[in-house]
Amino acid sequence: LSPQDMAGKRVLITLGPTREYWDAIRYLSNPSSGLMGASLAVAAWMRGAQVHVVAGPCSFVFPPSIRVTRVVGAREMFAAANDFWPEADMACCAAAVCDFRPVPPPCGIGNKLKKRDLDGPPVMELEANPDILRSLGQNKRDHQTLIGFAAETGDLLPQASLKLTEKRLDLVVANKVNVPGSGFDAPTNAVLVLDRNGRVEHWPELPKTEVAWRIWDHLQHL
Ligand code: C5P
């Protein structure tokens, strides 16, 4: 039987990739499967929490007791997450949000850009998306706990530590995205965990379901 140590807690989780449409059929995205966030959602639910997931395009079907808002683009995810945040006790941003979105071509985002209407390859211009985690951090109240992820290719600790302070997090979970067995679209993850008290832990390569369970364990002792 699962411990009911998250009973009554309202937990918001963003997960999956975002998809940034350029025209009617083309988009920018990344290989996020949503597994890390889905594992966190199911683990929190099993431990008694009331869970609200804001999911970018992914294939998960969640248990009916988990509330799911499905979104496509970063701006939509931003709006949904910010809407629910004031009612939540915790949020965990596990989504791989696209930092940039294409500026729509002259034909407009609702139409297909046609080769025959162009002189050569078109140039795609990008503009910045809002940072969801940063916004939740800015609006965080004393009783609220905020968890972020950091997908990195270099040294984990300095980048995790910067993210923790800049985004006003209570916990940051950093993983490498350029090694096998970790990061995007892998069933396992090897992470570094850094909390607001400066405690650092390196966890070995574990199934994402196990990493999720340990993240909630870690929060109990924060
Ligand atoms: O700054 P960086 O994008 O590396 O931070 C990663 C963390 O920020 C993740 O928790 C991710 O879900 C969150 N994030 C977000 N909105 C963005 C970009 C990142 O919530 N636009």
pLDDT at residue 8 in the model: 95
Domain membership of residue 162 (yes or no) is: yes
Give me the number of domains the chain comprises: 1
Domain membership of residue 191 (yes or no) is: yes
Instruction: Give kind and range of the element (H or E) at residue 152.
Output: strand 145-152
Residue 175 exposure: Cα atoms within 13 Å on the Cβ side? 25
Q: Which residue in 208, 194, 184, 198 sits closest to 156, CA to CA?
A: 194
Domain membership of residue 108 (yes or no) is: no
Give the CATH number for residue 30: 3.40.50.10300
Q: How far apart are CA 58 and CA 38, in angstroms?
A: 10
Query: For residue 97, what pLDDT band results from cuts at 50, 70 and 90?
Result: very high
* Percent residues over pLDDT 90 in the chain: 85
- The pick from 18, 78, 99, 131 for probing ligand 1's pocket by mutation, whose C-beta has the most ligand atoms within 8 angstroms, reads 131
pLDDT in tens, 134-153: 999 999 999 999 999 998 88
* Average confidence (pLDDT) over 168-187: 86
Domain membership of residue 156 (yes or no) is: yes
> In sequence order, what are the residues at sequence separation of 6 or more whose Cβ sits closer than 8 angstroms to the Cβ of residue 209?
39, 42, 43
Domain membership of residue 212 (yes or no) is: yes
Main-chain phi, psi angles of 66, to 5 degrees: -95, 125
* Average confidence (pLDDT) over 6-23: 97
Is residue 30 among the annotated active site residues? yes
Domain membership of residue 4 (yes or no) is: no
Main-chain phi, psi angles of 143, to 5 degrees: -85, -5
Q: Which domain holds residue 91?
A: 10-103+123-220
**187 and 172 Cβ atoms separated by less than 8 Å:** no
Domain membership of residue 87 (yes or no) is: yes
User: Which residue ranges have their beta carbon within 6 Å of ligand 1?
Assistant: 14, 74, 93-95, 97, 99, 129, 131-133, 148-150, 163
Measured between alpha carbons, how far is residue 189 from residues 39, 66, 150, 174 in Å? 12, 24, 12, 10
Q: What is the pTM (predicted TM-score) of this model?
A: 0.95
ipTM of this predicted complex?
Answer: 0.97
pLDDT at residue 87 in the model: 97
* Average confidence (pLDDT) over 41-65: 97
CA of 98 to the centre of ligand 1 (A): 9
**69 and 80 Cβ atoms separated by less than 8 Å:** yes
CA of 210 to the centre of ligand 1 (A): 22
Domain membership of residue 117 (yes or no) is: no
Query: For residue 106, what pLDDT band results from cuts at 50, 70 and 90?
Result: confident
Query: For residue 184, what pLDDT band results from cuts at 50, 70 and 90?
Result: confident
